């Protein structure tokens, strides 16, 4: 079904794996996991599986493994392509490596460090050795070793009909990638309204490069590490043609322009809120955080204090780099105020 460009499977699989084409599917979970399955060149009875991310934790990975066993009588997972090093994307790595010791865990160089040193996620967001309350599985995945460092535009040609291409999408995190999967063959989900015959069908797993409507309705200030690069990556996603777009959290889309606009609205509104906070005088980071939380009716808790607080610092950096705000020290406090350009607007 395709309503307002949101795609849903009319007959969702009980296993949790739903297929766009005979070779490209998605395991729907709190973090959607991309699946590409091709026949082994050595053994036609064997399916070789390539995963885009591995899920948020061991329990989800076990469910995916059970689902794969229902789908295929004989299979092996060849590679996991981790889009980035956040725990909810690489939390199943360790489990799958234990089940398939020869599989390759792949990630870009900068994301490799966070997968192998899992304290990085909370340390980056907190800005120091994190509190014990932040050192939980939600922020720290089981440690796994990255076997292969890939470039952010790596291409895996699996056979004459199926290709996996990495697309750089930094911003949400250091060197995150999206993954564009193209394959020949009919669309299994005919309810999509997409008629491919036996042509090429593309599925773009966009990681956290763009946030769904459902996600933004709950979290209008989602975590972003580099706002400028996030904006650039939004444009990359908007300009990448695909039959299906699969963000990591929430709905699947058949057209991305409207979602791009909603994400840009979030960015611009969050920037404007910070500028509005400074109109009545300079403020510290925590004073800006209070203003933003109060305006958005966000009851501040420990997790939000870290994630929203860290994201606001990223916005502050972006506004400083674009010369809209400036800093100074007074009474041993670092204060942020409007630049002369912003003040005159």
- Domain ranges within the chain, ordered by starting residue: 2-258, 278-343
Q: What phi, psi does 232 have (nearest 5°)? A: -60, -40
**272: pLDDT strictly greater than 70:** yes
Percent of the chain exceeding pLDDT 70 equals: 94
What percent of the chain has a predicted confidence (pLDDT) above 90? Answer: 89
CATH topology of domain 2-258: Metallo-beta-lactamase; Chain A (3.60.15)
pLDDT for the residue 128:
97
pLDDT at 215 over 70: yes
Confidence of residue 199 (pLDDT cuts 50, 70, 90): confident
Nearest to 181 by CA among 245, 108, 113: 245
Whether residue 218 is predicted with pLDDT greater than 50 in this model: the reply is: yes
Q: Is the pLDDT of residue 207 over 70?
A: yes
CATH of 278-343, one of 1.10.10.10, 3.40.50.10800, 3.40.190.10, 1.10.3720.10: 1.10.10.10
* Phi/psi at 55 (5° precision): 95, 170
Q: pLDDT band at 334, cuts 50/70/90? A: very high
- pLDDT: which is higher, 276 or 3: 276
Identify which has the larger pLDDT, 344 or 31. Answer: 31
Write down the mean pLDDT value for the chain: 94
pLDDT tens for residues 121-157? 999 999 999 999 999 999 999 999 999 999 999 999 9
Is the predicted pLDDT of residue 188 greater than 80, yes or no?
Answer: no
Mean pLDDT of 215-236: 97
Res 239 pLDDT > 80? yes
Q: Is the pLDDT of residue 96 over 50?
A: yes
């Amino acid at each position: 079904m395709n309503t307002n460009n949101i795609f849903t499977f009319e007959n969702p699989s009980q296993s949790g794996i739903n297929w766009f084409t005979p070779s490209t599917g998605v395991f729907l979970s709190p973090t959607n996991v991309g699946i590409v399955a091709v026949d082994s060149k050595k053994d036609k009875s064997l399916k070789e599986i390539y995963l885009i991310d591995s899920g948020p934790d061991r329990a989800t990975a076990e469910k995916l493994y059970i689902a794969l066993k229902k789908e295929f009588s004989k299979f092996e997972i060849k590679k996991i392509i981790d889009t980035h090093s956040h725990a909810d994307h690489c939390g199943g790595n360790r489990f799958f490596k234990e089940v398939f010791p020869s599989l390759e865990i792949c990630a870009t160089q900068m994301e490799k460090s966070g997968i192998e040193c899992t304290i990085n996620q909370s340390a980056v967001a907190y800005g120091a050795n994190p509190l014990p309350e932040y050192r939980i599985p939600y922020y720290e995945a089981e440690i796994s070793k990255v076997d292969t460092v890939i470039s952010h535009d790596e291409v895996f040609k699996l056979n004459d009909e199926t290709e996996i291409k990495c697309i750089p999408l930094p911003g949400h995190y250091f060197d995150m990638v999206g993954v564009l999967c193209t394959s020949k063959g009919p669309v299994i989900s005919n309810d999509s309204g997409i008629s491919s015959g036996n042509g090429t069908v593309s599925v773009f797993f966009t990681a956290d490069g763009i946030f769904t409507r459902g996600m933004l309705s709950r979290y209008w200030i989602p975590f972003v590490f580099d706002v400028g690069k996030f904006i650039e990556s939004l444009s990359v996603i908007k300009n990448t043609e695909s039959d299906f777009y699969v963000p990591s959290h929430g709905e699947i889309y058949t057209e991305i322009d409207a979602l791009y606009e909603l994400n840009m609205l979030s960015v611009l509104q969050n920037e404007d809120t910070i500028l509005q906070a400074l109109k009545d005088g300079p403020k510290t980071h925590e004073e800006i955080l209070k203003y933003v939380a109060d305006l958005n009716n966000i009851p501040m808790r420990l997790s939000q204090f870290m994630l929203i607080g860290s994201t606001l610092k990223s916005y502050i950096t972006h506004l400083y780099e674009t010369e809209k705000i400036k800093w100074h020290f007074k009474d041993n406090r670092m204060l942020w105020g409007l630049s002369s350009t912003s003040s005159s607007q």
